[in-house]
Structure 1
Amino acid sequence: MPLKRITFSGRLGVTESAEVWKTVARGLVCMVLDIVITLTISIVLFYMFAGGPFRYAVSPYERPIPCNDDSIKQPFKQNTVRMKHLLAVALGTPFFIICFVEALVYRNSEGPNKLANYFVTSTLLYLKYELTFALCVFLMEYLKCTVGRLRPHFLEACQPDWSRMDCTGRDSIPASETYCMNPDVHRVRTARTSFPSGHTAAAFHVLLFLGLYLTRMARITGIPSIYKTRNVLLVIFSIWTAFTAITRVTDYWHYPTDVLGVFSIPLLCCFEHALLLSHLGGIALALFCVLPTFGWQWRTYEDVYGPRQLERRRPHFE
């Protein structure tokens, strides 16, 4: 496990202090350090790539503005699902769910250094989730800039200067002849990044991870509480994912195809299926599939209990 060798938490499971409070304190400190460092690096790299406090490293492909296209004349509306709410759910809830499920597994098992190994397992699994989520975000931003599809509210975001632009007898206006009067450069830039939907990808990424993790952990461990947790959470997150996807269209930030086409990207981050590349216009994404993935994990007894150095205490029945 490479993460175990390069993280603070990875060094915790070697020994366990005789005093419980020392093990807990050390585990929490290492957990916080690893998560904060990973998030900080991911955020800095994202802003260097996509803008924010830095200059944009990659600019969207500037498509010509089509003349007489009603699909880009929709009004601008604020997001129903705000970015801060999306990130709180996508990054916050998996952490607490992982900690809760792993606590149930360790509580109902036997093994050495259980408390120390609990912090190691929980932290490394969440870091792995963070990295695949960051992969999805970077991949999403790259595709947005490569495709450069105009959002449904593009004209309102751009506020074209029609006194300098003429659609007479033309199908479209080249980017070199496009003049946007909106002083908000960021809004104009994002108006050119409709495909694919980042909100939908993030929401579906959470749902896919939880579906794999909770379903397989419940089946292998047989712990009733994990079954109940799975049944409740998967319903909640399915509804939340559908709500997020629908509001992206009703808020005029995306077309239905932006939302539907995005579902293949989280699949690429969680499974090693290069055939899905065909749904993304042939962009070479296979390299990203060699990164640590979840598709092959938690399938057998050894997959669950072996890395955790545990033995199931007693059988459980649903």
Structure 2
Amino acid sequence: MTSFYSVHRYVERAAPMLHMAYLMDWVFIFLLLGGFIVLTNMDPFFNLFTLDDPSIQHPYATTERVPSIVGVIYTTTISVGIVVIFTPLLHRKNPALAHVVNVSLLSLALSVILTEFVTEMLKNMIGRLRPDFIARCMPAPGTPLHGLVGIEVCTNTNLQVLYDGFRSTPSGHSSNGWAAFGWLSAWIAGQLKVFQPGTELFRSFIAILPLFGATLIGVSRIEDFRHHITDILFGGILGALIAWYSYRKYFPHLGKANCHMPFPPPAFNMDSGIDTVVDTDFYDSLDEMEAAKQGYSD
């Protein structure tokens, strides 16, 4: 039987490696994923409505242009694929290749899963009706047209379809699209150094291509009568903000000379129990670096 001492020694040896691999960050992301799953199984806030509200009288589309699961797979798979395929090509001579791949995937996972968690939480709290809600509800005959009524007038026995009619704001497709493709756009911009002086224009075009995909996904939800235009805008802004936060959490500003490299991992000291962060300052020019060495730079 393995002794407690041997297990302790193994953990002691493995701790620095796990720490530098951002193990706790990965654990936190999986906890967020668990929270998202819990939220998807919770009932939303059942808002009141009137049958004569034209904004919720659109038909229910049985076939969607971009189904929910397809949208998530589409955006996430493309983003992960580009990182996994092109990072070894862009960093083929970089000894920190594994670190770049790990941190890139970690940053992307944070963007997507945090966005999904926040989006689902807001959907349940707001309880806004989808444009096709009346078709989902199937109101009972004799329901008043002008007065406020509640979910009790609905006769649809498919509760999944009915309850989902209260989850219009914000758009999950839009927020997820901008979380994945917005992050990917920033990542490509950093890897290609599009904001460095003298870079070719085509690099910038490559960097903004994912944003077109995110926009088209959001527009498809209007065409399917699943969301109001404000839901799309809200979701897009939410996803873009979280994408930018998730990217900047691990990567320097796009204007930095080393913007293609993630921040170095934190140093780990088992004896002191105190984390120290490796110097993460990046400089745009050799002059600025020299000035910093001489104490002339902030």
* TM-score greater than 0.5 by the shorter chain: yes
Q: Are 1:301 and 2:254 counterparts?
A: no
Aligned residues with identical type, % of pairs: 16
Deviation (angstroms), 1:267: 3.1
CA–CA separation in structure 2 for the residues paired with 1:228 and 1:194: 37
Q: Which amino acid aligns with 1:172?
A: L
Deviation (angstroms), 1:123: 1.9
TM-score, with structure 2 as normaliser: 0.70
Q: Are 1:197 and 2:171 counterparts?
A: yes
Q: Report the equivalent of 2:90.
A: 105
CA–CA separation in structure 2 for the residues paired with 1:183 and 1:135: 32
Q: CA 1:182/1:9 → structure 2, altered by over 3 Å: closer, same or farther?
A: farther
CA–CA separation in structure 2 for the residues paired with 1:6 and 1:180: 58
Q: Which amino acid aligns with 2:223?
A: T
Deviation (angstroms), 1:216: 2.4
User: Does the CA-based 8 Å contact 1:220-1:301 persist in structure 2?
Assistant: no
Where do residues 10-49 of structure 1 align in structure 2 (5 Å cutoff)?
10=20, 42-49=32-39
Q: Are 1:167 and 2:144 counterparts?
A: yes
Q: Report the equivalent of 1:279.
A: none
Match of 1:124 among 103, 106, 115: 103
Q: Report the equivalent of 2:192.
A: 218
Q: Which amino acid aligns with 2:37?
A: Y
Q: Report the equivalent of 1:285.
A: none
Q: Are 1:50 and 2:34 counterparts?
A: no
Q: Are 1:79 and 2:73 counterparts?
A: no
Q: Are 1:252 and 2:228 counterparts?
A: no
What is the aligned length? Answer: 249
**Structure 2 portions without partners, runs of 5+:** 1-13, 266-298
Deviation (angstroms), 1:252: 0.6
Structure with larger Rg: 2
Deviation (angstroms), 1:210: 2.0
Match of 2:141, SS state, is coil
User: Does the CA-based 8 Å contact 2:188-2:207 persist in structure 1?
Assistant: no
Deviation (angstroms), 1:145: 1.4
Match of 1:262, SS state, is helix
Q: CA RMSD in A?
A: 3.7
**Structure 1 portions without partners, runs of 5+:** 13-29, 273-288, 310-318
Deviation (angstroms), 1:39: 7.8
User: Does the CA-based 8 Å contact 1:271-1:294 persist in structure 2?
Assistant: no
CA–CA separation in structure 1 for the residues paired with 2:17 and 2:74: 25
Deviation (angstroms), 1:122: 0.4
Match of 1:172, SS state, is coil
Q: CA 1:162/1:132 → structure 2, altered by over 3 Å: closer, same or farther?
A: same
CA–CA separation in structure 1 for the residues paired with 2:120 and 2:182: 20
